[in-house]
Amino acid sequence: MTAGRPRRLLTVCLGNHCRSPVAAVVLAELGGPAVEVRSAGIRDKWAGHPAHPAMVAAAAARGYGLTAHRGAHVSPGLLEWADAVLAMDTSNLAALRDLADEHTAPKLGLYLGNQDVPDPWGEGPEAFAAVVDLVVDGAARHLP
């Protein structure tokens, strides 16, 4: 990190459709001008698409707006941009390790440190709400 600029955080999940978008908006809101946050997915299926409607609703219920989100695909350039790359689960972390080089590999870690943020895909509204709660509860560890 360079003095005088915000800490750059990249949140990553499988599709950039549920978990990493909500993590990015939570970190950006709670971190304010001290952070710059982006999100991306391992797969590019949802690149350019809005977040999952159930995640948009679950985030809104906690006061976080996801309507502006558009999916992005993770790239070496995004890994280079970030000061910290926060994977939502161990399989995402493994995929990031395959993409990283010797400079970007040390930036990689799990969002919750030692546990996965479960993927709510295919689950009901309560699973999406539980993810938002986990993300909010885990945010402070990444903020200056």
* Cα–Cα distance list, 64 to 20, 27, 98 (Å): 13, 10, 32
- Mean pLDDT computed over 93-114: 97
Contact 142, 84 (CB under 8 A): yes
116, 12 Cβ separation under 8 angstroms = no
pTM of the model: 0.96
Average pLDDT, integer, range 116-143: 97
Residue 144 confidence class, pLDDT cut points 50, 70, 90: confident
pLDDT band for position 2 (cuts 50, 70, 90): low
**pLDDT above 70 covers what percent of the chain?**
98
**Quick one: pLDDT at residue 57?**
98
pLDDT-derived band at 3, boundaries 50, 70, 90: low
Statement: residue 1 has pLDDT above 90: no
3-state secondary structure of 34: helix
Q: Are 12 and 96 in contact (CB under 8 A)?
A: yes
Query: In the chain, at which residue ranges do the beta strands (DSSP E only) sit?
Result: 7-13, 35-41, 84-87, 108-110
Residue 4: per-residue pLDDT: 84
Q: Residue 95 pLDDT > 60, yes or no?
A: yes
Class of the domain covering 7-142: alpha beta
- For the sheet with 108-110, list strands across it: 35-41, 7-13, 84-87, 108-110
